[in-house]
Structure 1
Amino acid sequence: MIAAELDTTNRYPPRQTLLIDADDTLWENNIYFERAIAAFISYLDHRVHSPEQVREHLNRCERSTIAQHGYGLQSFRRSLIDCFEQLSDEPVTPEKHTRIVAFTEAISSQEIELLAGVEDTLYDLGQRHTLILVTKGNHDEQNDKLTRSGLRPFFSSVEVLSEKNTAAYIHILSSYALNPRNTWMIGNSPRSDINPALSVGMNAVFIPHDFTWVLEHEVVDQPNPTSQLLKLAAFPDLQLYF
């Protein structure tokens, strides 16, 4: 659907500030990690724990690793190795280590797959609003994905955060001198995109993704009286409101 065909009667005024998430909002991301996890669980082939129990243990390993080392592919690899060491009756030999690391290699070499309509939508939104990319993760990895996506020119600024929480959003509001009532966080993660943004008085647009990382799952909060929350089915639907 092109912009000329859209019903724009519900659009917010121009010059809103749109903070836009990257992974699983602009391009596919977590599905590649899910494939690596499935291969890892199959390789472990635990004799006692079910695949679901192994996944729960891996989730705990990931939480622990992230707390110490942050996000990124290297942390994910570390979590897989820790999980294997803790659950396997066998030591992690160099051969097993190489095999586990190999499960993640397809992630780093994966071509960027933009979600449907993203590029045209960003172009259209940029005609009326200020677009700032706000993502979290390893700084170099996130910047590399942005460069390879070809989407960098659509954004006036890029923020790669170590964590997306209330303190981070307060800092962004202050750094850019933003009015929270005219500022929107757009993304697929209740935990990182929606709930902390609403908690500091910003508005939010929740665009669910079928493969949102399990560690990002939360019940979506209700906005306070000064904030607004939209839930949209797909990224191009933003053109109906902005």
Structure 2
Amino acid sequence: MTGSLTTIGFDADDTLWHNERFFRGTQERFAGLLRDYTEPDHLLERLLDAERRNVGRYGYGVKGFTLSMIETAIEVTEEQVPARVIRQLIEAGQDMLAHPIELLPHARDAVEALAGDFRILLITKGELLDQERKLAASGLGDLFDAVEIVSEKTPDVYARIFAGHGEGPERSMMVGNSMKSDVLPALQAGGWGVYVPHGLTWELEHAEEPLGAPRYRSLPHLGDLPDLVAAIA
């Protein structure tokens, strides 16, 4: 470890491996099952409203998403949704919990390039068992010095993690595809925030870019991360 930067945190879903596209595919499946009751655009608006309401109850991940689909189906059909549709929604959620892991371009190379000189952390939201499954299937597990699966990403959470596994947020960097969860709270904690956009991002993870923030950076892909870290460290 050299210079002022000693610790680098990575988000998992849609930063290191694909995830959102499985949600989008299931949304299409959901719309097909409910096509006799409402228009797809209206249905997906109702689903997003349910997700927004329920994230505080169920947290992030497939199980909360599946419950939100069931709740929306009950609402839009005025409690007339057939049991077979409910069963198919449950099966859709189960399929998502078994989807294969496909690393994003440059993910392995970037983590491997930095692992020898910095403390490397995985910091992700979601369900414990599902995130553990995805990490194991990714083949990246041995590269991380620590893994933190949290219910929410806030400045206090980042401050705690970077103090516990590093030398505080001032000497730490968070890398991820969510402006709302990966970048802004890491900056607010006093660390570096690096935004690596993904083509698909959940609507609830959008936020304004912090233009002018001295510790904010944006990269087109993870392949540029080692050079950025070298320039900062």
Q: Same fold (TM over 0.5)?
A: yes
- Show the counterpart of 1:132: 121
**CA positional deviation for 1:105:** 3.1
Matches within 5 A, 1:167-178: 167-176=156-165, 178=167
- Show the counterpart of 1:233: 220
Alignment CA distance shift 1:181-1:171 (3 Å): closer
1:73 to 43, 62, 65: 62
Deviations 1:105-135 (A, max 9, x none): 3312211000112112211111221111100
Alignment CA distance shift 1:111-1:37 (3 Å): same
Q: Can you give the 5+ residue segments of structure 2 that lack an aligned partner in the other structure?
A: none
Deviations 1:142-192 (A, max 9, x none): 111101111011100000001111221122233235232321110000110
In structure 1, C-alpha distance between the alignment counterparts of 2:8 and 2:64, rounded to whole Å: 30
In structure 2, C-alpha distance between the alignment counterparts of 1:50 and 1:197, rounded to whole Å: 39
RMSD of the alignment, in Å? 1.9
In structure 2, C-alpha distance between the alignment counterparts of 1:179 and 1:168, rounded to whole Å: 12
In structure 1, C-alpha distance between the alignment counterparts of 2:123 and 2:79, rounded to whole Å: 42
Is 1:149 the counterpart of 2:138 in the alignment? yes
Is 1:180 the counterpart of 2:169 in the alignment? yes
**What letter matches 2:162 in structure 1?**
L
Contact 2:179 2:209 in 1 (8 A): yes
Is 1:40 the counterpart of 2:25 in the alignment? no
2:41 to 48, 52, 59: 52
Deviates more, 1:206-215 or 1:166-175: 166-175
**What letter matches 2:225 in structure 1?**
L
SS for the counterpart of 2:97 is helix
**TM-score, scaled to structure 2:** 0.91
In structure 2, C-alpha distance between the alignment counterparts of 1:160 and 1:194, rounded to whole Å: 17
In structure 2, C-alpha distance between the alignment counterparts of 1:112 and 1:177, rounded to whole Å: 28
Q: Can you give the 5+ residue segments of structure 1 that lack an aligned partner in the other structure?
A: 1-11
2:184 to 174, 180, 195: 195
Is 1:18 the counterpart of 2:8 in the alignment? yes
**What letter matches 2:9 in structure 1?**
L
**What letter matches 1:168 in structure 2?**
V
Deviations 1:28-56 (A, max 9, x none): 00100100001101221155x54222211
**CA positional deviation for 1:100:** 1.6
SS for the counterpart of 1:19 is strand
- Show the counterpart of 1:27: 17
Deviates more, 1:175-184 or 1:70-79: 175-184
Quote the sequence identity (%).
31
1:163 to 143, 152, 155: 152
Contact 1:46 1:88 in 2 (8 A): no
**What letter matches 1:116 in structure 2?**
P
Contact 1:180 1:201 in 2 (8 A): yes
SS for the counterpart of 1:186 is strand
Deviations 1:11-35 (A, max 9, x none): x948531011000000000100100
Count of residue correspondences: 228
